[in-house]
């Protein structure tokens, strides 16, 4: 279980390359969405491996924060163009 969590974490870290490369801000912020899904998957796997059910709540919070971050980014982007 820990190995699976580690491998998911490695794919998550590899996707940070897009945050460095990304030509526009939208490309960079897209990785936030990846962090919310991949990160919650890591937390779910760890919640079984460590027998800590509270980590499921942390995963829910991470998904919620990802959604809020993307909406806030889109609103800020629209205001910049005006």
Partner 1 sequence: MPPWIVIVKYLLLIIALFFFTAGTLGVLRFPDLYSRLHALTKCDNLGLGFVVAAIAIDAADGWLAVKLILLWFLALASSATACYLVARSGLRAGRDPWEKKA
Which residues of the shown chain bind partner 1 in the complex (CB under 8 A)?
Answer: 1, 4, 7-8, 11-12, 14-15, 17-18, 24, 26-27, 29-31, 33-34, 36-38, 40-41, 44-45, 47-48, 53, 56, 59-60, 63-64, 66-67, 70-71, 73-74, 77-78, 81
Q: d(Cα 19, Cα 21) in Å, to the nearest integer?
A: 6
CB of 26 to partner 1, least distance (A): 5
Residue among 61, 57, 48, 46 nearest 5 (CA): 46
Angle at 74 between CA 38 and CA 28, to 5 degrees: 50
CB of 49 to partner 1, least distance (A): 10
CB of 57 to partner 1, least distance (A): 9
């Amino acid at each position: 279980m820990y190995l699976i969590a580690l491998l998911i974490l490695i794919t998550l870290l590899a996707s940070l390359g897009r945050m460095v490369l990304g030509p526009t801000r939208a490309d960079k912020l897209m990785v936030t969405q990846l962090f919310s899904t991949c990160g919650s998957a890591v937390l779910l796997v760890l919640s079984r491996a460590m027998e800590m059910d509270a980590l499921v709540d942390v995963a829910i919070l991470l998904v919620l924060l990802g959604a809020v971050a993307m909406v806030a980014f889109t609103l800020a982007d629209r205001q910049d163009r005006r």
